């Protein structure tokens, strides 16, 4: 076991490497490692190689974009299973799950058509995930710009036959960029529904981003059974500003949208699992994971290739250090977080069948940036108990422990009784890349990524050895 209160020592891990440590560290009894020594060893091992960056490079090179149902997703399932076998994880397998299968298709364009018949201007757009396509001839209509659903409803019949342009930006003045995202993403998720309710023929949504470039950012959108299905696209923010400015002096300007995206029948896919089997309580499971699917506009290096390779790297680091955990530590690559969350639900269903008890579920899905700590999703007592690890987690840069949501993929596991944890990172740069072509390996810093893996390794080990 690990002793997170320095100076107190307790019976711990048993492994070959520890003989040396017994000589080197003061606060050790039997064959254990004090938690602060473990933290330093994880830093030494992890930052000595930046292995997680190599794994991520391999993932985006081999699998590339990997939306649920795509050939890239199949490659990602096979590759991450192969990675876990390569490192000698136990019980490596894929667990089947049927997933939605949306494809972008080849045609994806929008043209701004000035009223007077001037030259058409291409706009930087991409279909929102789940959108229906347009007729082959496209949809051409005048544009109604609004900043909110309330403004749309107030406009009422003026929306009929038009393309509704939702142009409310993320609020850049909030320190917490996730709050800013939360304040704008309703337009993307529900814009097509609300526009169709008012008789509109399509929806254009200002990209939900804090970047100042013109790259469109996709993401899932919904339909509602009783309301007509109209196409939805995201537009780069410079072109959003251009469209808005154009509409002031040319309110009858039209936009023509052509999309060939469509939804195919559900496809077979899988969660991928590998573990370090617990030596004393193998049926008590600690999950650490991210989601393997990623939007097809980029290669999902941050979202959420980072979380996947960090989970694999966390287990690899513990194994490299010769640690044999008391409880089972399991890496899970969840499928289909982006447009269905089927993987997270299928995982719980499978584990409930097997009679395992999940004591904790840790998710990393906020980008591979500098870690700061962990949210804890559980009752206030457990949050307080986790706070006893703040000092030791601080040794690897992740000393903030605060109550909060863990993550989409582990939510069903948390609902089933596990304590949830979410890796907190510095998120100032996240919404520059999120769901866009900007989300590439070049945007991931090797040290920041590895530190997330190290923080994860340390936390799972603390939970495994000390309990919650």
- For a copy of itself, the binding residues (CB under 8 A) are 43-44, 46-48, 50, 172-175, 210, 212, 370, 395-397, 426, 428-429, 445-448, 451
The smaller minimum CB distance to a copy of itself, of residues 53 and 358, is found at: 53
Residue 150's closest CA among 105, 200, 177, 186? Answer: 186
The neighbour count for residue 120, using CB atoms within 10 Å, is 14
The smaller minimum CB distance to a copy of itself, of residues 42 and 463, is found at: 42
Active-site residue among 145, 337, 338, 465? 337
The smaller minimum CB distance to a copy of itself, of residues 405 and 445, is found at: 445
Q: How far is the CB of 396 from a copy of itself (least distance, A)?
A: 7
Q: How far is the CB of 241 from a copy of itself (least distance, A)?
A: 15
CA distance 396 to 301: 22
The smaller minimum CB distance to a copy of itself, of residues 1 and 215, is found at: 215
CA distance 207 to 298: 15
β-strands 163-166, 202-206: how paired? parallel
Q: How far is the CB of 448 from a copy of itself (least distance, A)?
A: 5
Q: Which helix (H) or strand (E) holds 457?
A: helix 446-466
Q: Is 150 part of the annotated catalytic residue set? A: no
The smaller minimum CB distance to a copy of itself, of residues 194 and 448, is found at: 448
CA distance 47 to 41: 10
Q: How far is the CB of 447 from a copy of itself (least distance, A)?
A: 5
Angle between helices 446-466 and 306-320 (to 10 degrees): 60
Q: How far is the CB of 307 from a copy of itself (least distance, A)?
A: 18
Judge whether 420 and 281 are in contact, CB under 8 Å: no
Residues 6+ apart with CB under 8 A from 170: 177, 180, 181, 183, 184, 208, 209, 210, 431
**Catalytic site positions:** 337
């Amino acid at each position: 076991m690990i002793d997170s209160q320095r100076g107190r020592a307790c019976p711990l891990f048993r492994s070959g490497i520890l003989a040396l440590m017994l000589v080197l560290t003061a606060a050790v009894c039997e064959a254990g490692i004090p938690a602060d020594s473990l933290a330093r060893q994880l830093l030494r091992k992890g930052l000595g190689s930046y292995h997680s960056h190599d794994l991520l490079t391999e993932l985006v090179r081999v699998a590339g974009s990997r939306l649920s149902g795509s050939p890239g997703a199949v490659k990602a399932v096979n590759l991450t299973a192969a990675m876990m076998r390569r490192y000698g994880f136990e019980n490596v397998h894929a667990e089947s799950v049927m997933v939605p299968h949306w494809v972008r298709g080849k045609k994806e364009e929008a043209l701004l058509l000035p009223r007077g018949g001037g030259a058409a201007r291409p706009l930087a757009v991409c279909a929102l995930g789940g959108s229906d396509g347009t007729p082959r001839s496209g949809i051409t209509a005048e544009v109604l710009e609004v900043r909110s659903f309330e403004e749309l409803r107030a406009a009422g019949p003026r929306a009929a036959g038009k393309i509704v342009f939702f142009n409310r930006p993320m609020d850049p003045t909030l320190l917490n960029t996730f709050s800013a995202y939360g304040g704008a993403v309703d337009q993307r998720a529900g814009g097509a529904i609300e526009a169709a309710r008012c008789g509109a023929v399509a929806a254009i949504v200002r990209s939900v981003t804090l970047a100042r470039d013109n790259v469109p950012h996709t993401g899932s959108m919904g339909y509602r059974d009783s309301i007509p299905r109209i196409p939805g696209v995201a537009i780069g923010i410079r072109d959003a500003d251009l469209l808005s400015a154009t509409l002031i002096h040319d309110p009858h300007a039209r936009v023509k949208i052509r999309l060939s995206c469509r939804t195919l029948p559900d496809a077979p896919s899988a969660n991928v699992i590998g573990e370090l089997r617990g030596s004393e309580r193998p049926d008590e499971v600690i999950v650490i994971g991210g989601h393997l699917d990623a939007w097809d506009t980029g290669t999902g290096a941050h979202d959420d290739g980072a979380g996947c390779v960090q989970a694999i790297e966390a287990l690899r680091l513990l194994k490299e250090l010769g640690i044999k955990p008391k409880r089972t530590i399991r890496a899970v690559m969840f499928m289909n977080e982006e447009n269905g969350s089927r993987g997270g639900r299928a995982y719980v269903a499978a584990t409930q069948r097997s009679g395992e008890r999940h004591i904790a579920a840790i998710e990393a899905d906020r980008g591979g940036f500098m870690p700061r700590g962990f949210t804890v999703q559980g009752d206030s007592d457990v949050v307080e108990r986790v706070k006893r690890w703040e000092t030791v987690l601080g040794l690897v840069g992740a000393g903030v422990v605060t109550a909060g949501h863990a993550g989409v993929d582990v939510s069903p596991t948390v609902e089933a009784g596990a304590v949830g944890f979410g890796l907190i990172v510095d998120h100032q740069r996240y919404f520059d890349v999120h769901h866009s072509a900007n989300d590439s390996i070049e945007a991931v810093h090797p040290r920041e990524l590895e530190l997330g893996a190290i923080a994860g390794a340390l936390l799972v080990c603390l939970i495994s050895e000390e309990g919650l």
